Amino acid sequence: MRRTNKESRWFAEVEMQVQFFDLDPMEIVWHGRYVKYLEVVRCALLDKIGYNYPQMKASGYSWPVIDMQLRYVGSATFGQTLKLRADIVEWENRLKIDYLITDAATGKRLNRASTTMVAVDLATKEMCFVSPPVLFEKLGIEPL
């Protein structure tokens, strides 16, 4: 299922300051560091629903990222405070999360991204074609 509005009821926001070690020789955030930023806010979101990586493992599933899309709109620089937002937008057959990275002070968009994760049964190592009931439980909804 996919929500049609831009925000979901399952979201998290985190602010973080750009560190020197995130910069490239051009003195802007190196493009690969945005993947780390996505992981930071994704973990905050998963914590919020009570289903971060330790809980996933305990439930018998791993949720590898199988697809990641990033669109760079602007450059982040040293010392800049970023606002990272993650929204769960699909959950029935996969877990799709949309991201928005903005300048915390101005709201200027710097990056849009999405990740798609699928459940893999840890016992059989097989991909699940339907999200397991534990995800629906964590989201507080009934499976279809």
- For residue 6, is it within any domain? no
Q: Which domain holds residue 81?
A: 11-138
Give the model's pLDDT for residue 142: 85
Distance (Å, whole) CA 74 – CA 92: 33
- For residue 1, is it within any domain? no
Asked if pLDDT for residue 5 goes beyond 70, the answer is no
Q: Which residues contact 39 (CB under 8 A, 6 or more apart)?
A: none
Whole-model pTM?
Answer: 0.92
Tell me whether strands 95-103 and 109-117 are parallel, antiparallel or unpaired. Answer: antiparallel
Give the model's pLDDT for residue 8: 74
What's the domain count of the chain?
Answer: 1
Asked if pLDDT for residue 6 goes beyond 70, the answer is no
Tell me, what CATH number does 92's domain have? 3.10.129.10
Asked if pLDDT for residue 31 goes beyond 90, the answer is yes
